Amino acid sequence: MLAYGYSQSARFLRDFLYRGFNEDEHGKPAFDGLFIASAGAGRGSFDHRYAMPGEAGNSVLSITRPVDLPPFDDAGLLGLAVKSKTLPKIFYTYSSAEYWARFGALAYTTTDGAKELRFNPNSRLYFISGTPHSGAPFPPLKNARGHQWSNYANYARATWAFRALLLDLDDWTVKGTRPPDSVYPHLRDLARRQDVKFPHIPGVEFPSWMPRIWRLDFGPDYATKGLIGREPPALGEQFTVLVPVAKPDGNDVGGIELPEIAAPLGTFTGWNYELPTIPNLDYLAGLFGSFIPFARTAEERKSSGDQRLSIEERYPNKEEYIKQISQAARDLVSHRFMRAEDVNAALEQAASRWEYLTRQ
């Protein structure tokens, strides 16, 4: 039996594992496989005094709630399940926002960001590059909350990769078929926010702040009994937060690239700015990302000072663009990150986006 968790339920599944709840009354596994989508390195505010299940750290301005606490990595998270021999097969999936708003790199780095840690052999991590946690429609829009256009990259609603990965997890648990290897930015492709080299784009300011995370002291009985005795908690050491480095066009390095990311018409990010901005709380725009379109022509790009190649310089015509989208889709199918029956729909989607963005 498989369990799927997205957003709040994903955090619950991480907490579920940490507390050893995959062992049933007879000592057997409750679930054979878990698809944990978009929890980042966090767990949830469950099963303790003053619990508030909807809290998700700085991404929803619940900065000092007990949701982003160590252990973050598999060694600490899965200890009870390993001991009871009830460890399920696990797929973790990340959007880009999981690095910017949910401290995703802490799931596989030391808390000072200096070393990379290994996942359990029963775990896989798949980073869907350039996608937001909270999706947006196409045509892209600027709503009242975001400074940049909302990121429309297809992540959790009906993403090509999610549909394929769910079948991969089912095959792993039922048939024992080895799933694709993890795909995520390793330490060489991660950096502190201030060390990311982002291209100059007119009207776009790369974030000069981002959410921070500290060791939180909720009192002596919290760790063993779940009793909060100190509220608000005392702040201790700050953990190091790392994010994916950027390509020359501003897109992420080191993940599974959906067709619209592999052959982009703009820059897709896991961050955006809440308006009005609230930098004193290290807050960006929660779980919404940005889409920043490329200039249509080389002349437009040069006159504006945009460092990214224009659409015209990348693709001489629509046919070449669709050819690159098609190649990207076939590559995903070959690696079992996309279903063959979804390719035609992806091509139709890409064609309509080309028409819109090249005429606007």
The pLDDT tens digits of the residues spanning 164-173 come to 999 999 999 9
- 3-class secondary-structure state, position 123: strand
* Residue 265 near residue 311 (C-beta atoms within 8 A): yes
The count of structural domains within the chain is 1
- Among residues of the chain, what percentage have pLDDT more than 90? 71
- Judged against a pLDDT cut of 90, whether residue 9 lies above it is answered with no
User: Highest mean pLDDT range out of 46-55, 137-146, 175-184?
Assistant: 175-184
Listed residue (354, 356, 352, 325) closest to 160, CA to CA: 325
- Judged against a pLDDT cut of 90, whether residue 267 lies above it is answered with yes
- Judged against a pLDDT cut of 80, whether residue 144 lies above it is answered with no
pLDDT band at 145 (very low <50, low <70, confident <90, very high): low
- Judged against a pLDDT cut of 70, whether residue 155 lies above it is answered with no
- Among residues of the chain, what percentage have pLDDT more than 70? 97
Report how far apart the first and last C-alpha atoms of the chain are (Å, whole number): 48
Q: DSSP label at 23?
A: B
Place of tokens 């050491």: 237
- 3-class secondary-structure state, position 90: strand
Range of 161's domain? 2-359
- Judged against a pLDDT cut of 90, whether residue 223 lies above it is answered with no
Which amino acid is it at 252? D
Euclidean distance between CA atoms 172 and 248, whole angstroms: 37
Question: What pLDDT is stored for residue 227 in this prediction?
Answer: 94
Show the beta-strand stretches assigned E in the chain.
2-6, 33-37, 89-94, 123-127, 149-150, 190-191, 214-217, 234-238, 243-244, 266-269, 290-293
Tell me how far CA of residue 276 lies from CA of 65, 66, 144, 283, 359, in angstroms: 24, 27, 9, 11, 31
> What would the pLDDT profile of 307-360 be if each residue is shown by its tens digit?
999 999 999 999 999 999 999 999 999 999 999 999 999 999 999 999 999 986
Which amino acid is it at 133? H
Euclidean distance between CA atoms 225 and 322, whole angstroms: 57
pLDDT band at 12 (very low <50, low <70, confident <90, very high): confident
Burial class (CB in 10 A: 0-12, 13-18, 19+), 163: middle
Which amino acid is it at 279? P
Angle subtended by helix axes 318-334 and 343-359, to nearest 10: 150
* Residue 147 or 179, more confident: 179
* Residue 144 or 66, more confident: 66
Place of tokens 């095959």: 171
> What would the pLDDT profile of 161-211 be if each residue is shown by its tens digit?
999 999 999 999 999 999 999 999 999 999 999 999 999 999 999 999 999
Query: Mean pLDDT in the chain?
Result: 91
- pLDDT average, residue stretch 102-116: 96
- Which region among 32-36, 141-145, 301-305, 314-318 has the lowest average model confidence (pLDDT)? 141-145
